[in-house]
Amino acid sequence: MEISVQNLTKVYGPQTAVDGISFEVKKGEIMGFLGPNGAGKTTTMKMITGYMAPTSGDVLIDGVSMREKSDQIMKKIGYLPENNPLYLDMPVLKYLRFIAELQGISKRSVNDQIKKMINLCGLNNEKHKKIAELSKGYRQRVGLAQAMIGDPEVLLLDEPTSGLDPNQIIEIRNLIKQLGSEKTVMLSTHILSEVEATCDRILIINKGTLVADGTPASLRQQSQVNEVLQVRIEESDEQVKVKLALEELETVLKITDLPGRKGGFKIESKSGDSSKKEVFNLCVKNKWILTEMIPLETSLEDVFRELTV
């Protein structure tokens, strides 16, 4: 199934929370939805799930508008809402059964589905407890289990790993990745390393408008203009001489010392040029010992800050 968001807009009173955004998520794709607080992520998610009607624009899932809220589409969507709301007075098993029945899972497969989710989300020891008695991490697992029950073709997860311990985060990431190959997944998060680890595509939203759309690698490239190298040359006596020689290289734009690291420099090349060869050749010529040469990539954090601050 394919999610197609067309010119989606939501206006609350004087405030435009989401301002005409359009994108598509294809089957087999895991889309990471990023943005600072209040950027409109959750509002967008709520409109995609059909909980809220957009002021204008539309969301189509497999060509069917979410304004119609048809049962056929709704039961193919697994949704983990923001803050993971749960019926705290229900025991885990009873709760999952309730959700499975609401989603119209056939009587024959309800038990199998519940068993599968209990195993998948590691809830076996907690399954008879009331949800109110569970810790935050276990509640999060219950939230994920209810979203994934019945193998929905579309998964919409609002901060899926919040409250989980590091081991669990890795498990859930792997699970999402594994599911993502056959489903359409969209997840929102604040954790940038998570997006890097799980998502094929990133969407960044700021103040209600889309500011970036692409793979993690392509976004990093886009925001980086010049090549930056971190090098270290083991010539303790001739630091100044080395620096001068480096500055004279044709391709080099700027050199800065790396504070606290003897013989370390940060070399920014001129636009479009690469200094790797030149630095290496210079060292060979002078018989300097080059112990480090690392191309510095812009991190997603840098991209995120650049686009949203």
Partner 1 sequence: MNKIWILARKELSSFFDSLVAYIIVILFIGIAGLFTWWLGNDIFLSRKATMDSFFAITPWILFFFIPAMTMRTFAEENNTGTIELLLTKAITDWQVIWGKFVACLILILITFAFTLPFYISIWWLGNIDHGAVWAGYLGLFLMSAAYISMGLFTSSVTNNQIVAFLLALIAGIFFHFIFGLLAGSFSGTTGEVLNFLSFTSHLQSMGGGVIDTRDLLFFISLTLLGLVLTESALAKRNVSD
Binding site for partner 1 (CB under 8 A): 10-13, 46, 49-53, 55, 69, 71, 74-75, 77, 79, 81-83, 85-90, 94, 98-99, 101-104, 146
Cα gap 47→77, rounded to integer Å: 13
**Contacts (Cβ under 8 Å, ≥6 apart) of 190:** 34, 159
Residue with smaller CB distance to partner 1, 28 or 85:
85
Shorter beta-carbon distance to partner 1: residue 107 or 287: 107
Distances (CA, A) of 32 to 80, 83, 88, 100, 140: 14, 18, 29, 27, 19
**Would you say 39 and 206 are in contact if contact means Cβ atoms under 8 Å apart?**
yes
Radius of gyration, alpha carbons of the chain: 25
Looking at beta carbons only, is 106 or 271 nearer to partner 1?
106
The helix/strand/coil state of 25 is strand
Closest to 17 measured CA to CA, from 159, 207, 190? 207
For the bound state, the minimum distance from the C-beta of residue 70 to partner 1, rounded and expressed in Å, comes to 9
Which one, 5 or 86, has the nearer CB to partner 1?
86
Judged by beta carbon, residue 50 or residue 216, the one nearer partner 1 is 50
Minimum distance, C-beta of residue 254 to partner 1, in the bound complex (Å): 50
Report in angstroms how near the CB of residue 36 gets to partner 1 at its nearest.
Answer: 22
Task: Give whichever of 94 and 270 is closer to partner 1, judged by the CB atom.
Answer: 94
Nearer to partner 1, 141 or 201 (CB): 141
In order of 209, 251, 254, 275, the CA distances from 271 in angstroms are 30, 9, 11, 11
- The Cα 226–Cα 231 span in angstroms is 16
**Nearest approach, Cβ of 182 to partner 1 (angstroms)?**
21
| Min CB(175)–partner 1 separation in Å | 20
Q: What secondary structure does DSSP assign to 53-103, as a single string? A: --SEEEEEETTEEGGG--HHHHTTEEEE-TT----TTSBHHHHHHHHHHHT
The least distance separating partner 1 from the CB of residue 246, rounded to whole angstroms, comes to 58
Q: Centre a 10 Å sphere on the Cβ of residue 225 and count the other Cβ atoms it contains.
A: 10
Closest distance of CB 13 from partner 1, Å = 5
Q: How far apart are the first and last CA of the chain?
A: 34
